[in-house]
Amino acid sequence: MEHRIVTAAQMKRIEAAGNAHGLSYLQMMENAGLASYRQLRQHCPRPGRLLVVCGKGNNGGDGFVIARAAAAEGWQVTVLLAEGQPQTPDAITNFGRLEGLPAEILADPGALEGRPFDAAADALYGTGFHGELRPAGLAACGLLRAQRARGAFVLAVDLPSGINADTGAVAEGAAEADLTVTFDSYKPLHFSPSSAPLCGEVVCADIGIQDDWRAGAL
Protein backbone atom coordinates (compact mmCIF):
# COMPACT_ATOMS: atom_id res chain seq x y z
CA MET A 1 0.00 0.00 0.00
CA GLU A 2 1.29 3.43 -0.95
CA HIS A 3 1.40 5.89 1.91
CA ARG A 4 0.05 9.39 1.29
CA ILE A 5 2.47 11.79 2.99
CA VAL A 6 1.78 15.50 3.44
CA THR A 7 3.55 18.33 5.23
CA ALA A 8 2.04 20.20 8.15
CA ALA A 9 1.15 23.13 5.87
CA GLN A 10 -0.50 20.81 3.34
CA MET A 11 -2.51 19.18 6.14
CA LYS A 12 -3.78 22.59 7.21
CA ARG A 13 -5.00 23.19 3.65
CA ILE A 14 -6.66 19.76 3.57
CA GLU A 15 -8.47 20.49 6.84
CA ALA A 16 -9.51 23.92 5.54
CA ALA A 17 -10.96 22.23 2.45
CA GLY A 18 -12.88 19.82 4.66
CA ASN A 19 -14.26 22.71 6.68
CA ALA A 20 -15.24 24.57 3.52
CA HIS A 21 -17.17 21.50 2.34
CA GLY A 22 -19.17 21.28 5.57
CA LEU A 23 -16.99 19.00 7.69
CA SER A 24 -16.34 21.40 10.54
CA TYR A 25 -13.05 21.65 12.39
CA LEU A 26 -14.96 20.64 15.53
CA GLN A 27 -16.28 17.50 13.84
CA MET A 28 -12.78 16.64 12.55
CA MET A 29 -11.51 16.94 16.13
CA GLU A 30 -14.29 14.66 17.32
CA ASN A 31 -13.49 12.13 14.60
CA ALA A 32 -9.77 12.25 15.37
CA GLY A 33 -10.24 11.80 19.10
CA LEU A 34 -12.70 8.94 18.71
CA ALA A 35 -10.45 7.22 16.15
CA SER A 36 -7.57 7.47 18.62
CA TYR A 37 -9.69 6.08 21.42
CA ARG A 38 -10.80 3.13 19.27
CA GLN A 39 -7.14 2.30 18.63
CA LEU A 40 -6.38 2.56 22.34
CA ARG A 41 -9.26 0.26 23.15
CA GLN A 42 -7.99 -2.33 20.65
CA HIS A 43 -4.67 -2.47 22.48
CA CYS A 44 -6.13 -2.08 25.98
CA PRO A 45 -9.57 -3.71 25.83
CA ARG A 46 -10.22 -3.63 29.58
CA PRO A 47 -10.81 -0.18 31.11
CA GLY A 48 -8.11 0.83 33.57
CA ARG A 49 -6.26 3.95 34.63
CA LEU A 50 -5.73 6.40 31.76
CA LEU A 51 -3.60 9.53 31.79
CA VAL A 52 -4.30 12.06 29.04
CA VAL A 53 -1.60 14.72 28.71
CA CYS A 54 -3.10 17.71 26.91
CA GLY A 55 -1.54 20.84 25.46
CA LYS A 56 -3.39 24.12 25.08
CA GLY A 57 -4.01 23.79 21.32
CA ASN A 58 -5.99 21.50 19.06
CA ASN A 59 -3.85 18.45 19.81
CA GLY A 60 -5.02 18.87 23.38
CA GLY A 61 -8.57 19.12 22.07
CA ASP A 62 -8.19 15.66 20.52
CA GLY A 63 -7.05 14.50 23.95
CA PHE A 64 -10.18 15.87 25.61
CA VAL A 65 -12.27 13.81 23.17
CA ILE A 66 -10.26 10.70 24.11
CA ALA A 67 -10.76 11.48 27.80
CA ARG A 68 -14.52 11.90 27.35
CA ALA A 69 -14.89 8.65 25.40
CA ALA A 70 -12.78 6.73 27.92
CA ALA A 71 -14.58 8.11 30.97
CA ALA A 72 -17.92 7.15 29.42
CA GLU A 73 -16.71 3.56 29.12
CA GLY A 74 -15.48 3.17 32.67
CA TRP A 75 -11.84 4.19 32.54
CA GLN A 76 -10.39 6.03 35.52
CA VAL A 77 -9.34 9.14 33.62
CA THR A 78 -6.84 11.78 34.68
CA VAL A 79 -6.33 14.78 32.41
CA LEU A 80 -3.14 16.80 32.80
CA LEU A 81 -3.35 20.37 31.48
CA ALA A 82 0.36 20.45 30.79
CA GLU A 83 0.47 24.09 29.68
CA GLY A 84 -2.64 25.41 31.35
CA GLN A 85 -6.16 25.94 30.09
CA PRO A 86 -6.99 25.25 26.42
CA GLN A 87 -6.70 28.28 24.14
CA THR A 88 -8.27 27.33 20.79
CA PRO A 89 -12.05 27.46 20.32
CA ASP A 90 -12.58 23.77 19.53
CA ALA A 91 -10.28 22.64 22.32
CA ILE A 92 -12.18 24.89 24.74
CA THR A 93 -15.46 23.36 23.56
CA ASN A 94 -14.24 19.81 24.11
CA PHE A 95 -12.74 20.66 27.49
CA GLY A 96 -16.18 21.94 28.49
CA ARG A 97 -17.70 18.63 27.43
CA LEU A 98 -15.74 16.90 30.19
CA GLU A 99 -17.83 18.68 32.81
CA GLY A 100 -19.87 16.25 34.85
CA LEU A 101 -17.85 13.23 33.78
CA PRO A 102 -15.70 11.25 36.22
CA ALA A 103 -12.42 12.70 34.95
CA GLU A 104 -9.78 14.14 37.27
CA ILE A 105 -8.33 17.42 35.94
CA LEU A 106 -4.85 18.43 37.11
CA ALA A 107 -2.42 21.17 36.14
CA ASP A 108 0.70 20.07 38.04
CA PRO A 109 2.66 17.09 36.69
CA GLY A 110 4.34 16.82 40.08
CA ALA A 111 1.01 15.69 41.52
CA LEU A 112 1.28 12.55 39.40
CA GLU A 113 4.75 11.52 40.52
CA GLY A 114 4.72 7.88 41.54
CA ARG A 115 1.17 7.26 40.35
CA PRO A 116 0.96 4.34 37.93
CA PHE A 117 -1.30 4.27 34.88
CA ASP A 118 -2.23 1.44 32.55
CA ALA A 119 -2.24 3.70 29.49
CA ALA A 120 -1.37 7.26 28.56
CA ALA A 121 -2.36 9.47 25.64
CA ASP A 122 0.15 12.06 24.44
CA ALA A 123 -1.99 14.97 23.20
CA LEU A 124 0.52 17.67 24.06
CA TYR A 125 1.99 19.01 20.80
CA GLY A 126 0.88 18.39 17.24
CA THR A 127 2.25 19.16 13.80
CA GLY A 128 2.93 22.79 14.68
CA PHE A 129 5.78 21.92 17.04
CA HIS A 130 9.31 23.02 16.13
CA GLY A 131 12.44 23.94 18.01
CA GLU A 132 13.05 22.93 21.59
CA LEU A 133 10.72 21.86 24.36
CA ARG A 134 9.81 24.50 26.91
CA PRO A 135 10.08 23.58 30.61
CA ALA A 136 6.41 22.60 30.88
CA GLY A 137 6.70 20.46 27.77
CA LEU A 138 9.86 18.83 29.05
CA ALA A 139 8.15 17.97 32.32
CA ALA A 140 5.10 16.53 30.54
CA CYS A 141 7.18 14.48 28.10
CA GLY A 142 9.28 13.25 31.01
CA LEU A 143 6.11 12.11 32.75
CA LEU A 144 5.02 10.22 29.62
CA ARG A 145 8.41 8.55 29.28
CA ALA A 146 8.35 7.58 32.96
CA GLN A 147 4.89 6.04 32.62
CA ARG A 148 5.99 4.07 29.57
CA ALA A 149 9.06 2.82 31.43
CA ARG A 150 6.72 1.56 34.16
CA GLY A 151 4.68 -0.41 31.67
CA ALA A 152 1.94 2.00 30.56
CA PHE A 153 0.85 1.72 26.94
CA VAL A 154 1.47 5.13 25.34
CA LEU A 155 -0.57 6.36 22.40
CA ALA A 156 0.57 9.52 20.61
CA VAL A 157 -2.02 11.74 18.95
CA ASP A 158 -0.67 12.55 15.45
CA LEU A 159 2.96 12.36 16.61
CA PRO A 160 5.00 11.95 19.78
CA SER A 161 5.39 15.41 21.31
CA GLY A 162 8.68 17.16 20.67
CA ILE A 163 9.17 16.13 17.03
CA ASN A 164 9.13 18.37 13.96
CA ALA A 165 6.45 16.93 11.68
CA ASP A 166 8.17 17.95 8.45
CA THR A 167 11.83 17.25 9.20
CA GLY A 168 11.68 14.52 11.83
CA ALA A 169 14.01 16.56 14.05
CA VAL A 170 13.69 15.30 17.62
CA ALA A 171 13.94 17.81 20.46
CA GLU A 172 15.82 16.80 23.57
CA GLY A 173 13.40 15.10 25.96
CA ALA A 174 10.78 14.27 23.32
CA ALA A 175 8.09 11.72 24.11
CA GLU A 176 8.06 8.15 22.83
CA ALA A 177 5.00 6.08 21.94
CA ASP A 178 3.98 2.48 21.47
CA LEU A 179 1.36 3.56 18.94
CA THR A 180 0.91 6.77 16.97
CA VAL A 181 -2.46 7.58 15.42
CA THR A 182 -2.23 10.16 12.67
CA PHE A 183 -5.13 11.57 10.69
CA ASP A 184 -6.06 11.49 7.01
CA SER A 185 -2.46 11.37 5.77
CA TYR A 186 0.94 10.37 7.10
CA LYS A 187 3.47 13.10 7.85
CA PRO A 188 7.20 13.00 6.97
CA LEU A 189 8.26 12.35 10.57
CA HIS A 190 6.51 8.97 10.53
CA PHE A 191 9.15 7.72 8.09
CA SER A 192 12.22 9.74 9.09
CA PRO A 193 15.07 7.59 10.48
CA SER A 194 15.48 10.04 13.37
CA SER A 195 11.86 10.05 14.51
CA ALA A 196 10.13 6.90 13.24
CA PRO A 197 11.54 4.74 16.07
CA LEU A 198 9.83 7.02 18.62
CA CYS A 199 6.43 6.55 16.97
CA GLY A 200 6.03 2.83 17.53
CA GLU A 201 3.29 1.41 15.32
CA VAL A 202 1.73 4.11 13.13
CA VAL A 203 -1.95 4.00 12.12
CA CYS A 204 -3.49 6.54 9.73
CA ALA A 205 -7.15 7.11 10.65
CA ASP A 206 -9.94 8.45 8.45
CA ILE A 207 -11.50 11.64 9.85
CA GLY A 208 -14.08 12.12 7.09
CA ILE A 209 -12.17 14.13 4.47
CA GLN A 210 -13.14 13.09 0.96
CA ASP A 211 -10.57 12.45 -1.76
CA ASP A 212 -11.80 15.21 -4.07
CA TRP A 213 -11.65 17.79 -1.28
CA ARG A 214 -8.07 16.76 -0.54
CA ALA A 215 -7.07 16.78 -4.20
CA GLY A 216 -8.38 20.32 -4.55
CA ALA A 217 -6.28 21.45 -1.59
CA LEU A 218 -2.95 20.04 -2.77
3-state helix, strand, coil in the chain (%, to 5): 40, 20, 40
Would you state the pLDDT for residue 2?
Answer: 62
Q: Is there a contact between 178 and 192 (Cβ–Cβ < 8 Å)?
A: no
Q: What dotted CATH number matches 8-217?
A: 3.40.50.10260
Tally of CA atoms within 13 A in the half-sphere of 97 that contains its CB: 21
Closest listed residue to residue 174, CA positions, set 210, 133, 136: 133
Band of residue 3 on the pLDDT scale cut at 50, 70, 90: confident
pTM, two decimal places: 0.97
The residue extents of the domains of the chain are: 8-217
Band of residue 113 on the pLDDT scale cut at 50, 70, 90: confident
Whether the predicted pLDDT of 1 surpasses 60: no
